[in-house]
């Protein structure tokens, strides 16, 4: 992965993350790129030994073939939806990109910024849930934090439905 572009997309398999993924595929990703999905789960007490080992560094890079396998994804505690998998399979076949996913456990804001550094990513695309001012003030905006703390360019894709 030395000379290839690594395009990151933050995904939580919600409508807004699918919109960000589709936007990235349509507007940023090009032949030969690595499309790296970054998925962050909240911290918790996980019984799986692998998850305990990966708590600090995140999972290994997971290839698209494993993303499509429900048994493998269960091991990671995640479940990609069919629509997201369709977008990824289409991108892999039509744009000839390599699709990988890395899972982190912890605070989404911090882990997305860590992913930028540790993978490392050339750019990151993130969806915006469209929280109102009050909710954003109370909960904090993940996208706003990442834009202000990331060391690579970050594009925030606003969900059309929001």
One-character DSSP codes across 71-109: HHHHHHT----HHHHHHHHHHHHHS--EEEEEEEES-HH
Question: Residue 55 corresponds to which tokens in the numbers above?
Answer: 């708590």
For the chain, domain boundaries: 6-158
Report pLDDT for 162.
Answer: 47
Q: What is the mean pLDDT of each run of 10 residues along the chain (162 residues)?
A: 84 93 97 96 65 76 94 87 96 96 92 95 89 52 89 88 52
Beta-carbon contacts of 45 under 8 Å, excluding residues fewer than 6 positions away, are none
Give the pLDDT score at 75. 82
Please tell me the distance from the alpha carbon of residue 143 to that of residue 149, in angstroms, as a whole number.
Answer: 10
Nearest 5°: phi and psi at 65? -60, -35
Domain 6-158 sits in CATH 3.40.50.620: yes
The share of the chain scoring above pLDDT 70, in percent, equals 83
Q: What is the pLDDT of residue 1?
A: 45
What pLDDT, on a 0 to 100 scale, did the predictor assign at position 74?
A: 85
Listed in sequence order, the DSSP H helices in 7-161 are 15-27, 49-53, 64-67, 70-76, 82-94, 108-118, 133-139, 142-149
pLDDT in tens, 115-137: 999 999 999 999 987 655 554 45
Can you give the pTM of this predicted structure?
0.87
């Amino acid at each position: 992965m030395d000379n290839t572009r690594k395009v990151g997309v933050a995904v939580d398999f919600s409508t807004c993350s699918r919109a960000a993924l589709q936007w990235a595929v349509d507007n940023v990703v090009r032949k030969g790129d690595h499309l790296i999905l970054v998925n962050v789960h909240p911290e918790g007490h996980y019984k799986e030994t692998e998850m305990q080992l990966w708590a600090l560094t995140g999972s290994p890079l997971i290839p698209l073939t494993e993303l499509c396998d429900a048994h493998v994804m269960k091991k990671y505690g995640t479940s990609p939806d069919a629509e997201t998998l369709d977008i990824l399979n289409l991108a892999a076949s039509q744009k000839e990109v390599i699709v990988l996913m890395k899972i982190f456990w912890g605070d989404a804001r911090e882990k997305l910024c860590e992913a930028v550094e540790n993978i490392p990513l050339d750019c990151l695309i993130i969806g915006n849930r469209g929280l109102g001012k009050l909710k954003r003030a109370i909960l904090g905006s993940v996208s706003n934090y990442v834009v202000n703390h990331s060391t690579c360019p970050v594009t925030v894709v606003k969900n059309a439905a929001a």
